[in-house]
Amino acid sequence: MQWRGQCPGCHEWNTLEASVQSRSASKARTPLGGENSAGRPISLRDVEDSGHEPYGSGLQALDRVLGNGLVPGAAILVGGEPGIGKSTLLLQVAGLVAGQMAARGRPVLYASGEESLPQIKGRAERLGMLDANLLALATSRVEDVVEAANAQNPALLVVDSVQTLASVEAEGLPGNVSQVRAVATSLLELCRRLGCTLILVGHVTKDGVLAGPRLLEHMVDTVISLEGDRRQMFRLLRVFKNRFGPNEELLVFRMGQQGMQVVDDPSTFFLGQRDASLSGTAVVMAVDGQRPLAVEVQALVARTFLSIPRRAALGFDVGRLHLLLAVLEKRLKLNFGQVDIYAKVGGGMKLNEPGLDLALVAAVLSSYYDVPLPEKCVLWGEVDLNGQIRPVAAQDLRLTQARRLGFDPIVHPGEEKGGITTIAALQQRLFHRRQKPEE
List residues forming the annotated binding site.
80-87
User: 241 pairs with which residues across the strands?
Assistant: 223
Is residue 115 within 8 Å of 261, Cβ to Cβ? Answer: no
Q: In Å, what is the CA distance from 247 to each residue of 3, 210, 214, 230, 250?
A: 49, 18, 18, 25, 9
Which are the contacts of 70, defined by CB distance < 8 A and separation ≥ 6?
54, 55, 56, 57, 63, 76, 97, 156, 197
| Residue type at position 291 | R
Residues 6+ apart with CB under 8 A from 267: 292, 293, 294, 401, 405
CA 143-86-114 angle, 5° bins = 40
212, containing H or E segment: none
For residue 314, give every residue at least 6 positions away whose Cβ sits within 8 Å of its Cβ, in sequence order, or none.
343, 344, 345
Tell me: cis bond preceding 409? Omega within 30 of 0 counts.
Answer: yes
CA separation for the pair 167, 188 (Å, rounded)? 14
Q: Which residues are annotated as a binding site for ATP?
A: 80-87
Burial 349-382 (b: 16+ CB within 10 A, else e): bebebbbbbbbbbbbbbbbbbebbbeeebbbbbb
Three-state DSSP state, 404:
helix
Strand ranges for 384-438 from DSSP E: 389-390, 410-413, 419-420
For residue 181, the 8-state DSSP code is H
What does the angle CA 261 – CA 138 – CA 145 come to, to the nearest 5 degrees?
100
Number of CB atoms found within 10 A of residue 28's CB: 9
CB distance 254 to 233 below 8 Å? yes
Closest to 91 measured CA to CA, from 54, 127, 55, 140: 127
